[in-house]
């Protein structure tokens, strides 16, 4: 079998123009695709980091205590709540300044409490840090000015409920929810004791 000797490729300026046009069209398509892919990758990484932080950040409620009022009347209740918390294992830094505490007692609408460095008035919607029981890094003074918690810290939150003591009368349901700006919410429920002592006394509620 012999090859034909009179065969030649299609060449010329028109073929060259067509080839260049194809290359340019391919570049116009590929570059936006690469940019879009890069943006999607960045967003996916950022979303993954946010998700990881959200699911791994939270607080654990160690105990809830209450100081009873000093009277023997029917409106006997809790004059102060002390809540001890700590971050869960592997938790990211939690900002107490953005923490919201929702307290629903005796079937009343929930009271929404926010951090206040100098006030712990339940009636005004505030809580504060009554004691830094354990500070992992830095000092108590540092945390007072910048109220954050991290794994290894142990903190007691204080809430003065004197003006609303009857909300925490004996034998009522109490629901407390802790809502972090970044992280998952923590919810606890308990029922106050059937009877309180006549004189003011500290009780473990949860």
Q: Which helix (H) or strand (E) holds 39?
A: helix 13-56
pLDDT of amino acid 50 = 41
Residue ranges per structural domain of the chain? 12-56, 58-204
pLDDT, tens digit, 9 for 90 and up, residues 169-195: 999 999 999 999 888 899 999 999 998
Higher-confidence position of 72 and 107? 107
Q: How many Å apart are CA 200 and CA 206, to the nearest integer?
A: 18
Q: How many Å apart are CA 68 and CA 162, to the nearest integer?
A: 9
Q: How many Å apart are CA 35 and CA 175, to the nearest integer?
A: 50
Tell whether domain 58-204 is in CATH 2.60.40: yes
This prediction's pTM: 0.72
Residue 205 · residue 188 · CB < 8 Å:
no
Q: Which helix (H) or strand (E) holds 114?
A: strand 111-115
Share of the chain above pLDDT 90, in %: 53
Lowest mean pLDDT across 58-62, 139-143, 161-165, 171-175 = 139-143
Q: What is each CA distance from 27 to 21, 35, 37, 99, 140, in whole angstroms?
A: 10, 12, 15, 51, 60
Instruction: Phi first, then psi: give them for residue 19, nearest 5 degrees.
Output: -65, -45
């Amino acid at each position: 079998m012999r090859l034909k000797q009179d065969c030649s490729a299609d060449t010329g300026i028109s073929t060259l123009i067509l080839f260049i046009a194809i290359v340019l069209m391919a570049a116009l398509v590929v570059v936006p695709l690469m940019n879009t892919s890069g943006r999607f990758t960045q967003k996916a990484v950022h979303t993954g980091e946010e998700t990881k932080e959200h699911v791994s950040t939270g607080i654990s409620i160690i105990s809830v205590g209450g100081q009873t009022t000093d009277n023997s009347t029917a409106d006997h209740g809790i004059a102060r709540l002390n809540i001890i918390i700590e971050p869960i294992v592997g938790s990211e830094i939690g900002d107490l300044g953005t923490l919201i505490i929702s307290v629903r007692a005796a079937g009343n609408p929930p009271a929404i409490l926010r951090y206040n460095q100098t006030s712990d008035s339940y009636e005004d919607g505030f809580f504060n840090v009554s004691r830094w029981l354990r500070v992992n890094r830095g000092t108590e003074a540092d945390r007072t000015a910048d109220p954050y918690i991290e794994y290894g810290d142990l903190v007691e939150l204080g809430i003065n409920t004197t003006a609303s003591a009857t909300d925490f009368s004996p034998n009522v349901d109490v629901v407390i929810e802790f809502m972090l700006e970044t992280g998952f919410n923590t919810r606890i429920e308990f029922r106050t004791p059937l009877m309180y002592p006549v004189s003011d006394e500290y009780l473990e509620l949860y």
